[in-house]
């Protein structure tokens, strides 16, 4: 944090139309680091929603580096999705499936297409999300509220419910929440509420699936430089995004993806019902 609490500008002010494109961001998010795979997910099949860009892209790439076959479900960011597919296929197989995950039937179709191609599902990463910056509860319309919950929460229920019949002992479900679930957000009230719901969903599902040997955990990132940010906030806020974190910067998707890998592979076999907090140093109780 800067002297006097002033947030510093970290990048050029910018803004995009929703849902945003990673290819248009400046600087580009870092999706790959110098990781060398060791086969931790060899022969596994991972279904990742919102996997076309941001955290989802980084997770897709890291999983592929570790040997997983990857299925990416996304809305309509075709350029980003095709580029992610190209990058993933340098390491493993990949299938991309466009469509609205806010529709129950599409969530079911995503699972059916995954099974049709790869015959099984070992890992589900529920990661798709949207938010709208809104001043005060009275300015959140019912239409916005329903859309935010449908996309951010209902899709997690629908995708997971459709995938469970195909998951076996040793499977892993990883849900993306947010630091806002734990400390709230005055300008993202409905979004923060969905992320709190995801925490409760994760903990409840982990108990439900314990005897089946399927682990359920989550990741609750703090500020991360993704298209969601560039398409949600005004240019000046985008320029300063992350500067109020203890580390005074937003995280890169590649820095967050490692939490998902730990929870997906055998390194995390004693973890279920838990959340990791890659958030640049903010202390969270929960």
**DSSP one-letter code for 135:** S
- State the DSSP H helix or E strand holding residue 215, giving kind and residue range, or none if neither: strand 215-219
**What is the residue whose two structure tokens read 């040793």?**
170
Q: Which two tokens stand for residue 119?
A: 């015959």
Q: Which of 191, 260, 270, 271 is catalytic?
A: 191
Q: Is-contact 65 39, C-beta < 8 A?
A: no
Indicate if 271 belongs to the active site.
Answer: no
Q: How far apart are CA 162 and CA 127, in angstroms?
A: 16
Q: Are the C-beta atoms of residues 271 and 263 closer than 8 Å to each other?
A: yes
Helix H or strand E encompassing 148: helix 142-149
Q: What is the rounded distance in angstroms from the CA atom of residue 240 to the CA atom of residue 270?
A: 38
Give the β-pairing of 123-126 and 45-49.
Answer: parallel
Q: Are 283 and 185 in contact (CB under 8 A)?
A: no
User: Can you tell me the distance from the alpha carbon of 170 to that of 265, in angstroms, rounded to the nearest whole number?
Assistant: 9
The catalytic residues are 191
């Amino acid at each position: 944090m800067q002297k006097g609490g002033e947030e510093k500008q970290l990048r050029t002010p910018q803004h995009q139309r929703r849902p945003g494109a990673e290819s248009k961001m400046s600087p580009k998010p870092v999706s790959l680091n110098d990781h060398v795979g060791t086969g931790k997910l060899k022969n596994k099949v991972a279904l990742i929603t919102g996997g076309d860009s941001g955290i989802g892209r980084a997770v897709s790439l890291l999983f592929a580096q570790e040997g997983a076959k990857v299925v990416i479900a996304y809305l309509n960011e075709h350029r980003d999705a095709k580029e992610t597919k190209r990058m993933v296929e340098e390491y493993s197989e990949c299938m991309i499936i466009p469509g609205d995950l806010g529709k129950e039937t599409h969530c079911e179709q995503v699972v059916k297409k995954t099974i049709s191609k790869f015959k099984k599902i070992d890992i589900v990463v529920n990661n798709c999300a949207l938010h709208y910056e809104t001043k005060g509860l009275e300015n959140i319309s019912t239409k916005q509220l329903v859309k935010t919950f449908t996309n951010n929460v209902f899709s997690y229920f629908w995708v997971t419910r459709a995938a469970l019949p195909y998951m076996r002992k040793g499977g892993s479900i990883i849900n993306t929440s947010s630091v806002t679930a734990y400390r709230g957000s005055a300008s993202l009230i409905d979004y923060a509420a969905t992320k709190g719901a995801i925490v409760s969903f994760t903990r409840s599902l982990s108990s439900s699936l314990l005897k089946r040997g399927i682990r359920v955990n989550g990741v609750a990132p703090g500020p991360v430089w993704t298209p969601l940010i560039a398409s949600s906030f005004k240019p000046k806020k985008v320029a300063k995004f992350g500067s109020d974190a203890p580390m005074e910067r937003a995280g890169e998707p590649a820095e967050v993806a490692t939490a998902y890998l730990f929870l997906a592979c055998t390194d995390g076999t004693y973890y279920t019902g838990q959340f990791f907090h890659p958030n640049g140093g903010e202390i969270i109780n929960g």
